[in-house]
Structure 1
Amino acid sequence: MTTHEPVQMLSARLALPLVRELRGLGHDPAPILKELGLHEAGLRPLEARMALASWLRLHAASIELSSDPAAPARAAARIQPDAFPIPLHLLGSQATVREGWRFSAPYLGVGIDGLRAELIPEETRSRFDFQVQGAPLGPAPLAEFFMVGLFAYGKRVIPSELLPDRVNFAHPRPAHADALCKFIPCTLRFGSRSVGFEFPTAWLDLPIRGADPQLGQLLAEQAAAWLSTHEPTPRLADRVRLWLARNLRDSDAVASRLARDMKLSERTLRRKLSEEGTSIRELVAKARQARASELLGSTSAPLDAIAFELGFSSVGAFCRAFKRWTGCSPARYRAEL
């Protein structure tokens, strides 16, 4: 029996900036939309969806017709409210950035299938990471468009001129990286282990201009109804990754505690993870590596504190594991950032 990977979908509204960019360049977007089985009016409804592959074709067309690889980013920087997918409207409906994040987080999948965001708060500097099915948000064209559009949105709803400390991309540095800096004028890091941005923690308590909690509640109900019938069940491995992010410090009996919280026997847990091509050992190692890289890069915490945070029995055990993962010591990794 042949199985097929599900077609990844996203909000059709994310195509509107690309359509407008094409028109602004003097090109009629209708033929390309027709080729993709779309029409412009059908992109506007909040519930409208399109295949990621079709969005990527539209993205490529804006580059081909403009001979400018930064054209899609320019389109994202000019995003208008009628192109905001539901999660952005939900974020902007609450009183502060922190409240908007909490309110919108469960509904990110309405914007991009499987999208999840993790807030990693620290005392003075925090970070948002964006993932799809446990991997950094991608492919590269979508990650760049998403981050530029997100900050264009932020300028509209936060009454301050704010810039992140750094924006991270998982893909290699592209030839148009300098042009991207015009739309996100801060440090851009390519080849990172995550897609997201780092920012002063104080941002989380900034007020949102034009907050409307009542509208937010109505939209949340609409988003919840959509997700109940459309969003695929998360893979077990993704659920395990989320669990590990909260439980790394206690390394005792990980498998039994994990199985209990997943409401599975250990044997079934291991079998199901094997069917998904992974294991508890592999997921724990990757979670530790990711968290270690975060702490080494964004804090000055001593190595013994990091080792404890990650559930290692000693600094030596942590250093040996980190060198096995990355090929260098934690101290060298931190020095080279």
Structure 2
Amino acid sequence: MVRLVLEAARTAGVSPDELNRLPGVGVLGRQGIRVPTMLLTRVWEVSSAVFAEAGGAPRVAQLWTPGRFHVWDYVIKSSADLGEAFDLAARHLPAITDPDSAFIVRRNAAGRLTVATRPVPTFGRVGALIGEFVLGLLLQQAGAALGRPVTPVAITVAGEPPRSHAHLVETFGTRDIQFDAPVSSITFAPADATAPLPGADPALAAIVRDHAVHSISNARPILGWLDKVHAEIADSFADGPPSLDRVARRMTMSSRTFQRRLHDEGTSWREEVEKVREAEATRLLRDTGLTIDAVAARVGFSDVRALRRAFHRWYGRTPADFRRQPSAK
């Protein structure tokens, strides 16, 4: 998936030097590696303005063609219907990207099928663009699997709306697009969710699923420098608000060298702490029963009021409202 977005960035005119400076880009030519989600996020951050001018994130998704994602595409194509296809695709997502990029599949009582992404640790329009890209990709997968055009019944986007979203209405074929949602999601009608897929093949399905499991279990994680910084920040939460000096020592650097390296990576200490806090607080609210006070303490906030202010900054709602949203589960 990172290779696809990098190809789009280069085609759209993003500076090759800027892309080559991103941590982890140099290993993308190797087979059998697991690329960190943060690299994908960084590509979007440096390319977002160019992508917006080129027609938005769905244009990036249109670079996908059936078979480009190898075994993952065939897991979807060989399934019985879209419900099974996306259930299995979610389970085997690490075959094409980092496990942190997982999405959630659910059905309601009326038979509608919704595929929702987990929140992305980035801000503003960048997060929205990533969500729009994933939804565009899922829509293309659905159409390829069914062998016909598919129109979703609803779209939600986690992030700020663009000045105009006419291109999204055209891409998704619906005006029911909600921005500033807890997560990005696409909802399919019951008739599309349960329609038999023309490529359904139980024998092939068993083979490609075994191959997907093998690919995932043998992939080697490649950690960039910022991934190590994030791990140190997350570990430091146990001692309260994270300290730049303490994390710098754990990275075997002076504070000045550490700050200079962050600047060279195009970021800052404050930005990276914010990203780790957002990702960890969101995970704890979504996946655990911890109280909101306990979540605040776990991510190094001095009190729960600081967590509430941060959540309002990230999502425009309180932690309690976020936890109550079904799509956040």
* TM-score, structure 2 normalization: 0.58
Q: What's the CA shift string for 1:227-279, capped at 9, x where partnerless?
A: 89989999597366246xxxxxxxxxxxxxx58xxxxxx9xx97576323598
Letter in 2 for 1:190: F
2:158 is the alignment partner of 1:122: no
Matched residues in 1 for 2:121 and 2:42: separation?
A: 23
Q: Relative contact order: is structure 1 or structure 2 higher (C-alpha 8 Å, sep ≥ 6)?
A: 2
Q: 1:37: how far off?
A: 7.0
Match of 2:182 among 189, 193, 197: 193
Decide whether the 8 Å contact of 1:73 with 1:183 is kept in 2: yes
Q: Spell out the pairing of 1:80-119 with structure 2 (5 A cutoff).
A: 80-81=65-66, 83-84=68-69, 87-109=72-94, 110-119=96-105
Instruction: Say whether 1:241 aligns with 2:286.
Output: yes
Give the conservation status (yes or no) of the 8 Å contact 1:13–1:45. no
- TM-score (normalised: structure 1): 0.57
Partner of 1:164: 152
Letter in 1 for 2:129: P
2: CA distance, partners of 1:118 / 1:38:
27
Q: Are the structure 2 counterparts of residues 183 and 133 from structure 1 closer, same or farther at C-alpha, using a change threshold of 3 Å? A: closer
CA contact (8 A) 1:87 1:104 kept: yes
Q: Deviations over 1:20-79 (max 9, x none)?
A: 743xxxx6975554454787994585746361354125634744xxx8241543232232
Give me the whole-angstrom Cα distance separating, in 1, the residues matched to 2:5 and 2:26. Answer: 9
Per-residue CA deviations over 1:134-187 (Å, capped at 9, x if unaligned) read 999961221122111221222222223211011111223202411222222212
Q: How many residues align?
A: 251
Closer/same/farther in 2, CA of residues 163 and 191 from structure 1, 3 Å limit:
same
Superposed counterparts of 1:48-87, under 5 Å: 49=35, 51-56=39-44, 59-60=47-48, 62-63=50-51, 68-70=53-55, 72-81=57-66, 83-84=68-69, 87=72
* Counterpart in the other structure of 1:334: none
**Counterpart residue type for residue 97 of structure 1:** L
- 1:14 is aligned to 2:4: yes
CA contact (8 A) 2:136 2:172 kept: yes
Distance 1:57 1:286, change over 3 A: closer
One-letter code aligned to 1:149: L
What is the aligned partner in structure 2 of residue 220 from structure 1? 213
Q: In the alignment, is the contact (CA less than 8 A) between 2:156 and 2:178 conserved in 1?
A: yes
CA drift of 1:81 comes to 3.6
Q: In the aligned structure 1, how far is the partner of 2:21 from the partner of 2:31? A: 20
Q: Return the match for 1:149 from 137, 150, 169.
A: 137
CA distance in 2, matches of 1:190, 1:272: 26
Q: What fraction of aligned residue pairs are identical, expressed as a percent?
A: 14
Distance of 2:222 and 2:199 partners within structure 1: 31
What residue in structure 2 maps to residue 287 of structure 1?
323
User: Hey, what's the Cα distance between the residues in 1 that align with 2:150 and 2:71?
Assistant: 23
RMSD: 4.4
- Among candidates 283, 298, 304, match of residue 275 of structure 1: 298
Contact 1:17 1:76 in 2 (8 A): no
Note closer, same or farther for the CA distance 1:236–1:226 as it changes in structure 2 (3 Å cut): farther
Q: Which has the larger radius of gyration?
A: 1
Q: Where in structure 2 are there 5+ consecutive unaligned residues? A: 235-278, 305-317
